Amino acid sequence: MMLVRGGRRWGFEFKYADAPRTTKSMRMALDDLKLQRLFVIYPGEKDYTLDDGIEVLALPHVEKLALSLQT
């Protein structure tokens, strides 16, 4: 999924895995769609940086992200 807010392109991918990993399709989406950042949403508890431009976000923390994208 892609969202454009304030001229920025944000990508979202949803995974059911316990510990999502970088995939070739993630790198391609960043490049092809010219994403500012790609967020991988998963059912875990910890947020972490997966790779350059790719952040893993725990499902319980999605509300914080939604608030920050409103600006």
C-alpha 3/C-alpha 22 separation (Å) is: 20
Q: How far apart are CA 63 and CA 69, in angstroms?
A: 10
Tokens matching residue 32: 């092809």
- The C-alpha atoms of residue 59 and residue 51 are separated, in whole angstroms, by 19
Sheet with 54-58: strands ordered across: 2-5, 8-14, 37-42, 54-58, 48-51
Number of domains forming the structure of the chain: 1
> pLDDT tens, 20-37?
999 999 999 999 999 999
Q: Tell me: the pLDDT tens digits for 31-71?
A: 999 999 999 999 999 999 999 999 999 998 888 777 667 65
Mean pLDDT of 11-23: 92
Domain that holds residue 20: 2-69
